[in-house]
Amino acid sequence: MLTLKHNLRFTKTYIRKYKKLTKNNKKLKKQISKTLELLSSDPRNPSLKSHKVYAKEFGLRLSSSVSADLRVIWDYDQNSQLIILILTIGTHSGKNRVYN
């Protein structure tokens, strides 16, 4: 069976927040990289715990778990189901959470 990997595209918001979150934290960079690799190969993988959420900046989107409190917010590109837009990254709880 042939499985196609999804191409990931990153927003400026994601890149900015990623840099801030991972500054001097190689372990977190590795965790995020592992999550994104899994998302690229199988967005429906149960270990991602992907589900719909209402993201503060982006409306109704999908959220996948990086760690107990860290989430990646993403969606499929409007023109291609093989492109995943990585919109933002942030916490699941607290005043700076990425979704309601």
Cα 18 to Cα 1, 2, 3, 36, 90: the distances in Å are 34, 32, 28, 12, 8
Per-residue pLDDT, 76:
96
Residue with tokens 């990931």: 8
Q: Which residues of the chain have pLDDT under 50?
A: none
- Residues 70, 78 contacting (CB under 8 angstroms): no
Domain 14-40+47-91 matching CATH 3.30.2310: the answer reads yes
Per-residue pLDDT, 85:
98
Report pTM: 0.93
Cα four-point dihedral sign 32, 41, 51, 75: positive
Per-residue pLDDT, 1:
55
How many CA within 13 A on the CB side of residue 98?
A: 26
Per-residue pLDDT, 100:
81
What are the residue ranges spanned by the domains of the chain? 14-40+47-91
